[in-house]
Amino acid sequence: MAGETQNYHETRNPYKQTADYAAVTITTGQSILPISTVLIGSSMQFPAGYWDLGKKVHFRIFAKATTGATPGNFTYAIRYQTGTPTDAGGTALATSAASAAGASKTNASFFVDFTVEARAAIGTAAALFAKGWVLTDPVAALHASTVAPVFIPATGAASVNVDTTLASTIHLDVARSGSTTETIAVLDFQVNALT
């Protein structure tokens, strides 16, 4: 068909998961989910030059959290990082508001759904746009019912310029503000290229 662009659906290799991932202890800094070593070689890593104009990828994470007596607030950030993934590494593409976490919860289920899309051609300062949400069961109440769902970002959604000429990782980080130990274990994650 003369003059038409051909498109295709990209299939990303699944991460061969045999059990729940190791629990991550959430700190007052940001902590990667599931864990940084899982991301290496997973479908959450992208080759140099991947994020070209129009590329959009959908991420889904299902996890469980255990909180202490004073978890404070949880904050979620979708991050873009080149090199080896690290806690709070790279650039935050979108960050949620600090949302009240439920105290003394055991294995409270929650679900995170987000997309990242390229809004510029490949470059050293190319725009990526990320948005998503976190949803928790109202009975298990990982978050107070008044803050469910939690949107990422809560306000001010905008593209962020990053270097898309390099290999990268997209990861979700979580931080807490309280004084007790909270853990999160990822049970499943999926990555699907939409365009």
For 107-125, what is each residue's pLDDT tens digit?
999 999 999 999 999 999 9
Mean pLDDT of the chain: 88
User: What is the tens place of the pLDDT at every residue in 40-80?
Assistant: 777 788 999 999 999 999 999 999 999 999 999 999 999 99
Q: What is the pLDDT of residue 1?
A: 47
Reading the block at residue 136, the tokens are: 């928790």
Compute the average pLDDT of residues 81-107.
Answer: 93
Q: What is the pLDDT of residue 61?
A: 92
User: What is the tens place of the pLDDT at every residue in 4-20?
Assistant: 655 566 666 656 677 88
CB 32 within 8 A of CB 24: yes
Compute the average pLDDT of residues 155-176.
Answer: 95
Strands (E), the chain: 24-26, 31-33, 45-46, 56-66, 73-82, 91-95, 99-100, 108-118, 126-136, 150-152, 160-162, 168-176, 182-193
Q: Model's pTM, two decimal places?
A: 0.90
Nearest-CA neighbor of 99 among 151, 23, 159? Answer: 151
